[in-house]
Amino acid sequence: MDYLLDGVTMSEILKLKSPADFIGKQGPGVISFGSGQPDLPPPKEAFEGIDLKRDLRYGLIQGELKLREALTYEYPGSTAENFVITNGASEALDLIFRSWGKGQKVLLPRPYYYSYLPIIEMAGMVPVFTDLVEGRIDLGDFHKKIKGCKAVLINSPSNPTGCVEAIETLKEIQKVTQQLGVYVVSDEVYKDLIYERENYHIEGNHVITINSFSKTYCMCGLRVGYLWSADKKIVEDVCEIKTHSSMNTNLIGQDMALAAMKTPREYIQKEQQIWRQRRDLIFKGLTDLGFDLWKPEGAFYVLPKCKNAREFLTVLYQDYKVITYLGEWFGAPDRIRLSYALDIKQIEEGLSRIKDAMKRVKVL
């Protein structure tokens, strides 16, 4: 008989194509290292002064002016015209690739966030992979492959690796792409979750920055993100598509994003302490269990090497009620991904269950 857990059968889980299939499947007793979102509530500021009875007619396709003006303080030298507010970073990414011509190449570091590949392919563009070395971009390979590409898509801090690119690497990418006339799409949604240093914001007319309020302010379900570009044509092209594909981003979400921006910097620093503590716990725990993994410098993911990953994932889910994600969804078939967006007790319990499950499947 097919094993059933929270509405998912074992035969179903083996068919899962992406982590999104797990959303909403968590139930009592389940420990989920799956979901890539903060478990913390939004800051109290996000709710202050929100008036549901505001004008709820169509808003500007580009996004509410006040929100875009507030963002200029985070992007020195910018104006409100440089931003487009979107339904999360996902829509920003989708729009930018759709705005480019079909058949053109996009350089994509691998492992990658699981939506990158479908977004590039749905736009009719062709991915060119550069494999990360020790979780970081290999500049030698990058230099070889960047030529002839329309764009490169980078993500630092990275989901799923947890790694942060060195500032020198980012500067080199910035320079080389500018010389070659290649666009850089820089997904910086984890910019406020770096444990080691400040974010380095790649700049230039050829840069499109993707960002979001979801991770910083713990409001993933509101779907408010944005893109930044100094190139007027890029902004216009993206707005032209959005005019037809979704129109304005929902207004209450934008109001809450603007309100959340009033959160004092200490909130983010406090958040970082929580994440760092969890990072230390899971990194030590998995290392002690014998896993080979990179120490996260940002975001909240680890991507340990794992033999028989599919079998291990299945046993963990079926018999130990622990959700983990297959590395293959992220272009890393010999690994599994764990999010540590969980409280300390759950991480400890999860590690203990993983230890037990390791007796059943040869993973090292």
Query: Does residue 243 bind its own copies (CB under 8 A)?
Result: yes
User: CB-wise, 236 or 319, nearer to its own copies?
Assistant: 236
- Burial of 288 from C-beta contacts in 10 A (0-12 / 13-18 / 19+): exposed
Measured from the CB atom, is 57 or 265 closer to its own copies?
A: 57
Query: Shortest Cβ distance from residue 41 to its own copies (Å)?
Result: 8
Question: What is the rounded radius of gyration, in angstroms, for the C-alpha atoms of the chain?
Answer: 21
> Which residue type does 265 have?
R
Rounded to a whole number of angstroms, the minimum distance from the CB of residue 239 to its own copies is: 8
Choice from 256, 261, 286, 316 touching its own copies (CB under 8 A): 256
Residue 57 vs 359, nearer CB to its own copies: 57
- Is residue 98 at the binding interface for its own copies, with CB under 8 A as the rule? yes
Alpha-carbon gap, residue 39 to 218, rounded angstroms: 7
Distances (CA, A) of 274 to 45, 268, 279, 344: 19, 10, 9, 9
Cβ atoms of 250 and 237 closer than 8 Å: no
Q: Could you say whether residue 133 binds its own copies (CB under 8 A)? A: no
Question: Of the candidates 128, 176, 251, 281, which one interacts with its own copies according to CB under 8 A?
Answer: 251
Q: Which of 27, 49, 124, 333 contacts its own copies by CB under 8 A? A: 124
What is each CA distance from 132 to 169, 171, 314, 364, in whole angstroms?
13, 17, 27, 21
14 counts as binding its own copies under rule CB under 8 A = no
Q: Which is nearer to its own copies, 108 or 164 (CB)?
A: 108
Distance of CA 235 to CAs 82, 154, 181, 361, Å?
7, 19, 18, 50
From CA 141, how far away is CA 112, in angstroms rounded? Answer: 16
331 binds its own copies (CB under 8 A): no
Element (H, E) at 239: helix 232-245
252 touches its own copies (CB under 8 A) = yes
Distance between CA atoms of 224 and 70, rounded to whole angstroms?
14
Q: Does 91 bind its own copies (CB under 8 A)?
A: yes
Asked if residue 159 lies in contact with residue 190, where contact means CB atoms within 8 angstroms, the answer is yes
Q: Which stretch, 116-124, 274-282, 286-294, 310-318, contacts its own copies (CB under 8 A)?
A: 116-124
57 touches its own copies (CB under 8 A):
yes
Tell which one of 253, 285, 327, 350 touches its own copies (CB under 8 A): 253
CB 283 within 8 A of CB 89: no
Residue 60 in contact with its own copies, rule: CB under 8 A: yes
Query: What residue ranges bind its own copies (CB under 8 A)?
Result: 17-18, 20, 23-24, 35, 37-39, 41-42, 47, 50, 52-53, 55-61, 87-88, 90-91, 94, 98, 102, 115, 118-119, 122, 124, 218-224, 240-241, 243-253, 256
